[in-house]
Amino acid sequence: MKLLKSLLCISLFIAGSSIALAKQSQSSLDQMHQGYTQAEQCLECHGSYEENAAKTAELGKWNPHNSIHGGYVDCTNCHEQNKLTKNYCSYCHEYKPDLKK
Amino acid sequence: MSKFKTDISRRDFLKNAGTAGIAVGAASVFGTAVAGESKHLEDKSVYEKAFGDDVQQIYVKKGKSQGPKGPIGFEDRKIAKNEITKEYNCDIAVVGGGMSGLIAALKGAEDGAKVVLIEKMTEGRGAFECFGAVDSRTQREAGIKTDKAVLLGEMHRSANYRIGPDVVRTYVEKSGEASDFMEQMFEKAGTGVVIAPMPLRPKYPNTGAPVIDAECMFYNTPGLPKDVRFRSGHVGLYIIQDLTKIAKKHPNITAKYSTPAAQLVIDSSGRVTGVIAKEDGKYVKINAKKGVILATGGYDANPEMMKAYLRPEDYSSASWWNPCWGTTGDGHMMGLKVGAAMDPVPHAVMNFTFGSPESFHIPAVRTLRAMGLYAMVNDDGERFVREDTAFQFISNATNRQASFGKQSWLLFDDTMISKNKETFDKAIAAFKVLKEKGWLFEANSPSELEKLMKMPKGNLVNTVKKFNAFKKDGKDQDFNRDMEFAKAFDGNKIYALVCNSVILATVSGLIIDEHGRVLNTKGEVIKGLYAAGNASGDFFSGNYPRHIPGTSMGRAITFGYLSAKHAITGV
C-alpha cells in the first residue's frame, strides 16, 4: 500500500512537471486527486508547507504560502484537489506579485 | 474536578478526522483533530459533543460556513506519556501570540516570571487600529473623563444583561492601568508606537445609545511603514510585530512559533499544571508552575465550531475579513475539556457591514460620502433597516434578508459620492471593476435601475420617492432614521452596490472572574487556568457592541495583563 502510494506520488510529480503532458492527461490528473480532500493528504505528496512556501518564494511579499499574516494556511482554502479555486489574497488586496515585490 | 467533562473515544476522533486518517507527514506540525465533515449524519461533531450528554439541543437548520479553515491545534484524544518527547519548565505558559498573549507574556516576564509563549502560526494575529480604555495616561493628559457608570451600563444593556458584573466592571476599572503597561512596552521597543485618544465622533447619536468617550488609537504612530495607507485594521499587524519583537528579546520569555497547543495538563487535585503542544511535529509538555493563560482568540477560522455555537444566519451569507487564520477555538476546546464553563449559545459574533461577497468593499466605500448618505434596499427594492444605526444591527438586518435569499444593496446617487474631484474620479474608476464582477449596477433613474436589477416593477421608484419625502418632512416614517443626516436622491446617476455582512471575529468564550481565572460550570475557579481576549467570555451576548468603542481589543489588553498579574501570585 505504501509502495503504491509512493508510486502514485512519483507519477503525479512527473505529470505535474510537464505542462504539455498535464494538459493532455487532464482527466487522469483529476482522477488521481479524487478523494484527496484534506490538507494533510496534499502535503504527503507535495512536500511540507514550508517546502511549498520556498517553491513560491519568488512571489516575494505576495507569496501566499508565507504571508505577513502568518501560516500555516490550510491548502484547501485556495486549492481543491489539483485545481486552484480561489486566491484569498485577492479578496482584500490587488494581487499583483509582479508589480509589487 | 479531575474528571474530564467530555469523553470522546479515540475511535470517534479518528472517524471525525475523515478520509485522511492520521497519515500526517513529519512536515505537518498539526493534528487532524476535526478536519472535515463527519461521514455519519447521526454523529455529532467534537464541538457539539463537548457539552456532554446532559445537554439541551436547540434545533436549527445548519448553515453553510464559507469562511476560511485554519489549522486546528486542539486534540481531544488522550495523549500518552510516551508520546511526549521533551519537557520545558516555566512559571507561566501563554498559549497564543496575539494581543492578549503578548501582553500576558510581557507582564509576567516584567514581574520576574519565566514565561513560555507558544503560538500556532508563524505570526500572531493583529487586525485593529484602536482599543478601548478608561483613564489611560494619554486620556488623563488630554483631560478626557469617561463616565464609567454610563459605559458600564451600556455594556450590560448591550449584552442583554446575560453577563455577570465582575468582568466588565474590572475592564472599566483596570483598562487604563493595562494600557499604561502596554505603553511602557512600546517605549522599551523604541520603534515609535504612539497611543493617542481616539477623537470622539458621535456616530450613533440617535439610536438610543449613549456616545462614550473611552477609546485610544494607534493611527498617529510614526513608526508605521509608509505604505500602510488604509490604516483601519492594518495598523494592528505592525503593533503586534512590535510587541513580538520585545517579547522575543525579553530574557524571561521563550517564544515558540509554529507550536500549536493540543491540550491542558491537570494534576489529581484538578489544578492545571501545564500544556501539551506540538513542536516540530513532536509532542512536548510545558510545565507551568503558576498557570496557563489561554490567549487563543476566537474561532472564526473553524467552520465546524461556527456551526456548533453560532446562529446559522450569522455566518451563512457573510463574508470574512481577517487574514490570519490561527483562530480555531483551541483555547475554548482545551478549557471545555477540563470542565470550564463557557458562554451560553448562541455565541456573539463581531460583525460589520460594507461587505463585498469576498471581503470588505474597501476601495469603493472609502470614496463614498455615501458611507453616511446611502439608503439600503433588498433585492425587491425595499428598505429594511435604518441606515444610520450601529453596524452590527445593519449586519443583522442584512442577514435576516439573506435568510430568505435576498441580497442587500447600498443605494446612492452621484451627489452622494465625494465632492472632491480627485476622489470622485477615483470612485467612478473603481466602479468599473465592481460592475464587471456584478457587484454594482448603474442607471440614469430609479425605474431604469429596478429594471436592470430585475426588481419588482415600481418598488424602487416608490422607495426613492418615499425616501425623498421623508427627507423633506424630516421624519423617516418606516425606520425612524435621523433624516437630518440623509440626502435626497436628485442626481443624474443612481447606483446599487452589493452589501454583505462581514465576520471579523467571534467574541464569546470561557467564563472568567475578575482576575482572568477560568471558572468551572459550578462557578468555582479552575486553579492554574486563565483566559483572556476572545478566548474568554462573560462580556458580550448577541452581538459585539460596535457602538461601544474598542471593548474587544481593550478586553484583550486588560485581561492579558490581569491574568499574568494574578498568575504570578501562584494562588
Residue A23 pLDDT exceeds 70: no
Q: Which are the contacts of B363, defined by CB distance < 8 A and separation ≥ 6? A: B430
The rounded distance, in Å, linking the Cα atoms of B431 and B439 is: 9
pLDDT of residue B26: 35
The rounded distance, in Å, linking the Cα atoms of B391 and B351 is: 8
Residue type for position B148: K
Residue by residue, DSSP assigns B82-136 as GGEEEEEEEEEEEE--SHHHHHHHHHHHHTT--EEEE-SSSS-----SEEE-SS-
Q: Considering only CA atoms, which of B555, B564, B546, B524 is closest in space to residue B212?
A: B546
pLDDT of residue A92: 86
pLDDT of residue B365: 61
Interface contact B325-A74, CB threshold 8 A:
yes
The rounded distance, in Å, linking the Cα atoms of B467 and B383 is: 9
- Confidence grade of residue B208 (pLDDT, cut at 50, 70, 90): low
Q: In a mutagenesis test of the A interface, which of B14, B15, B19, B28 is the best target, namely the one with the most A β-carbons within 10 Å? A: B28
The rounded distance, in Å, linking the Cα atoms of B167 and A87 is: 40
Q: How many Cβ atoms sit within 10 Å of the Cβ of residue B8? A: 17
A66 CB within 8 Å of a chain B CB: yes
pLDDT of residue B203: 59
> Please, which residues bridge with residue B518 across strands?
B512
Residue of B222 and A18 predicted with greater confidence: B222
The rounded distance, in Å, linking the Cα atoms of B104 and B94 is: 7
Model confidence pLDDT, tens digit, residues B77-125: 999 999 999 999 999 999 999 999 999 999 999 999 999 999 999 999 9
| Predicted TM-score (pTM) of this structure | 0.89
Q: Considering only CA atoms, which of B549, B539, B454 is closest in space to residue B170?
A: B539
Interface contact A66-B122, CB threshold 8 A:
yes
Q: How many residues does chain A have?
A: 101
CA A15 to chain B, closest CA, distance in angstroms equals: 22
Q: ipTM of the assembly?
A: 0.82
Interface contact A38-B32, CB threshold 8 A:
yes
User: What Cα–Cα distance (Å) separates residue B115 from each residue in B136, B154, B256, B291, B295?
Assistant: 26, 36, 11, 10, 14
Contacts of B362 in chain A (CB under 8 A): 92
Q: In a mutagenesis test of the A interface, which of B325, B359, B439 is the best target, namely the one with the most A β-carbons within 10 Å? A: B325
Contacts of B24 in chain A (CB under 8 A): 40, 43
Residue of B492 and B57 predicted with greater confidence: B492
Contacts of A67 in chain B (CB under 8 A): 323
Residue of B372 and B134 predicted with greater confidence: B134
Contacts of A90 in chain B (CB under 8 A): 358
The rounded distance, in Å, linking the Cα atoms of B74 and B333 is: 7
The rounded distance, in Å, linking the Cα atoms of B498 and B434 is: 9
Alpha-carbon torsion B314, B315, B318, B321, what sign? positive
Orientation of helix B235-249 relative to helix B99-110, angle to 10°: 30
Alpha-carbon torsion B479, B482, B485, B487, what sign? positive
Contacts of B19 in chain A (CB under 8 A): 35, 37-38, 41
Q: Considering only CA atoms, which of B563, B486, B485 is closest in space to residue B526?
A: B563
The rounded distance, in Å, linking the Cα atoms of B31 and B468 is: 58
Helix (H) or strand (E) holding B408: strand B408-413
The rounded distance, in Å, linking the Cα atoms of B547 and B2 is: 41
Question: Could you check whether the bond before residue B346 is cis, i.e. omega within 30 degrees of 0?
Answer: yes
Contact predicate B423/B368, CB 8 Å: no
Q: How many Cβ atoms sit within 10 Å of the Cβ of residue A92? A: 20
Model confidence pLDDT, tens digit, residues A27-77: 788 999 999 999 999 999 999 999 999 999 999 889 999 998 999 999 999
pLDDT of residue B392: 94
H helices present in B197-281, as ranges: 235-249
The rounded distance, in Å, linking the Cα atoms of B316 and B293 is: 32
Q: Which three cell numbers stand for residue B298?
A: 476566537
Residue by residue, DSSP assigns B166-181 as HHHHHHHHHHHHHHHH
- Confidence grade of residue B493 (pLDDT, cut at 50, 70, 90): very high
Contact predicate B494/B445, CB 8 Å: yes
The rounded distance, in Å, linking the Cα atoms of B510 and B333 is: 9
A20: left (phi over 0), alpha (psi -120 to 50) or beta: alpha
Q: Considering only CA atoms, which of B452, B449, B448, B431 is closest in space to residue B440?
A: B431
Contact predicate B342/B537, CB 8 Å: yes
Contact predicate B512/B536, CB 8 Å: yes
Contact predicate B28/A43, CB 8 Å: yes
Interface contact B27-A47, CB threshold 8 A:
yes
Picking from A71, A72, A92, the nearest residue to B359 by CB comes out as A92
The rounded distance, in Å, linking the Cα atoms of B337 and B331 is: 10
**Range with lowest mean pLDDT among B328-337, B411-420, B515-524:** B411-420
What's the mean pLDDT in B357-383?
81
The rounded distance, in Å, linking the Cα atoms of B197 and B213 is: 9
Q: Considering only CA atoms, which of B543, B542, B539 is closest in space to residue B155?
A: B539
The rounded distance, in Å, linking the Cα atoms of B539 and B165 is: 9
Q: Which three cell numbers stand for residue B282?
A: 513532536
Range ranked top by mean pLDDT from B20-29, B224-233, B530-539: B530-539
Query: What distance lies between CA B439 and its chain's CA centroid?
Result: 26
Picking from A35, A39, A67, the nearest residue to B19 by CB comes out as A35
The rounded distance, in Å, linking the Cα atoms of B338 and B266 is: 8
φ, ψ for residue B334, nearest 5 deg: -65, -40
